[in-house]
């Protein structure tokens, strides 16, 4: 009689198969778990407190750290003081208007901090942000 379906036709599946979705989410979770620790700066430094309001930071800032031993690190790489300008140029693509976030241990002598600021100014990096802990000083 016509082209109607009988009982032996395959029934349509009305459920959504979520297994591929779960697999993709697990892969993304693993990728983010591995990538998140790599995006932070791990140089230990005892920052002073500040009561200034927190400012927005750019997507990829340059983190320059002056440790308690007086060594300079750019990101996680230790650099000799005489290579500061060349290292900053390499990290920023020679864009001297790139903000440099300077983290310094609170026990660093003021003269040593001024030496680093003078090196930054001599290299042409005038946008320097001093990083401190949020909150009021004790």
Considering the entire predicted model, what is its pTM? 0.57
pLDDT in tens, 60-114: 778 888 888 888 888 888 888 788 888 888 888 888 888 888 888 888 888 888 8
- Give pLDDT, residue 69: 85
Q: Which two tokens stand for residue 46?
A: 């005892």
Percent of the chain with pLDDT over 70: 71
Helices of type H across 44-128: 84-92, 110-123
Structure tokens at 137: 């000083």
Furthest C-alpha separation in the chain: 99
DSSP secondary structure letter of residue 20: H
The number of C-alpha atoms within 13 Å of 16 and in the hemisphere containing its C-beta is 4
For 27-72, the pLDDT digits (tens) are: 999 988 888 776 666 666 666 666 667 666 666 778 888 888 888 8
CB 45 within 8 A of CB 67: yes
């Amino acid at each position: 009689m016509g082209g109607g379906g009988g009982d032996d036709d395959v029934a349509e599946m009305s459920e959504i198969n979520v297994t591929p979705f779960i697999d993709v989410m697990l892969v993304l979770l693993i990728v983010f778990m591995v990538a998140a620790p790599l995006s932070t700066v791990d140089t230990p430094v005892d920052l002073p407190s500040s009561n200034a309001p927190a400012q927005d930071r750019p997507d990829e800032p340059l983190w320059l750290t002056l440790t308690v031993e007086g060594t300079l690190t750019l990101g996680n790489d230790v650099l000799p003081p005489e290579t500061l300008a060349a290292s900053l140029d390499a990290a920023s693509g020679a864009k001297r208007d790139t903000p440099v976030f300077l983290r310094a241990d609170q026990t660093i002598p003021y003269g040593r901090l001024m030496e680093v600021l003078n090196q930054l100014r001599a290299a042409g990096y005038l946008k320097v942000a001093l990083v401190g802990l949020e909150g009021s000083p004790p």
